[in-house]
Amino acid sequence: MLNAVALPNDRLEPQASGEPGRLFAKTGLLVRAGTAVELTVAPSAPPGVTIGWGSPGPEGTTIRVPACPSAAGWVAFAGGYTVTALTCVPLIVRVGGRTESAAVRVGADC
């Protein structure tokens, strides 16, 4: 996405999160080193969808990743998607004034 973010192409299979009525699909987030990124759950998403990466990282509907340096070219963060039902999660990705839409399959096709 925008040559700065790698999102999963495969359908994620969520597991019980430990919170009643919530499922968690674990997947890493890859961000190009030195690039600030903002990921937002689109308003069209079902209620209760949240995203979160980091250790420990914030969880919410918008996540901001600062421009982190890395000799590897990419920076990886552990985390994923929390949902109340199997769904397609629509995302808005913002990088350097550019915006692109994406969708991640969390137990359901888009």
Q: Answer whether 50's CB lies under 8 Å from 41's CB.
A: yes
pTM reported for the whole predicted model? 0.92
- pLDDT for residue 72: 84
Q: Answer whether 102's CB lies under 8 Å from 9's CB.
A: no
Tokens representing residue 54 in the block = 């980091």
Tokens representing residue 46 in the block = 């079902």
Tokens representing residue 90 in the block = 């629509």
Q: Name all domains of the chain by residue range, CATH numbers in brackets.
A: 5-106 (2.60.40)
Instruction: Please give the chain's pLDDT, 110 residues, in tens.
Output: 789 999 999 999 999 999 899 999 999 999 999 999 999 999 999 999 999 998 777 889 999 999 988 888 999 999 999 999 999 999 999 999 999 999 999 999 99
Q: Answer whether 12's CB lies under 8 Å from 106's CB.
A: yes
User: Sign of the C-alpha dihedral, residues 102, 23, 26, 51?
Assistant: positive
- pLDDT for residue 5: 96
